[in-house]
Structure 1
């Protein structure tokens, strides 16, 4: 009687562990990536010989220490800024108190620009 030795099959490479590792890497990179869109903030430095004060064509606003906007001593919302503008006021001058954070200042500038104002000047008060 002749018995054949069964051939030893080489174990195959399973795709399941490879797919698991790729999926875990995909999830990791999706969670580790920031999807926020960054934008530049152009900075205009005043010349040393200028007085640095706005003329009458500017609407003057101030960012307070808690992030509020004020105009002429009264609190205004960013949406109310467009109501302060008229045909001769198309520019906004934003003065920031030293106690206000940078995030509060930039949030105020972004909110003002969202109302349609293109010219916004940012000033840090002493």
Structure 2
């Protein structure tokens, strides 16, 4: 008769390679999630409880034009048009984007106003 070798004991799979892969994925996603912070736009406003004083400062953003208190304006002269309406750079300026306005246009206007020294922009619907 044939003499077969005794059956081997079954080995359990090792978990070390799987733990290494999970750790590498964790490190990758932790590092990759930090890249989006540089492009953030800050809209720091006083919120609902803040005091509002002075003349109205409402900028309405349309897809093809900008209005300041209902009067059509240009982005290049918008900071100069806001200067007589504000008493200090931390006066709130209300931004309202109308339907059809894309986020890039809103970001462009926010960056232009922030560069001009207006640091309290409030975005409303």
TM-score, normalising length: structure 2: 0.51
Aligned pairs (5 A) from 1:47-62 = 50=48, 55-57=52-54, 59-62=57-60
Moved over 6 A (4+): none
Of the two, which has the highest radius of gyration? 1
In structure 2, stretches of 5+ residues that fail to align are 1-36
CA deviation vs aligned residue, 1:56-97 (integer Å, no higher than 9, x gap)? 44521110132x211132221233222222352633211111
- Higher relative contact order (CA closer than 8 Å, sequence separation 6+): 2
2:40 aligns with 40
RMSD: 3.2
Residue deviations 1:11-42 (CA, integer Å, cap 9, x gap)? xxxxxxxxxxxxxxxxxxxxxxxxxx933223
- Judging by fraction of residues, say which structure has more helix: 2
TM-score w.r.t. the length of structure 1 is: 0.51
2:83 counterpart residue number: 85
Cα distance in 1 for partners of 2:120, 2:42 equals: 11
User: What is the total number of aligned residue pairs between the two structures?
Assistant: 84
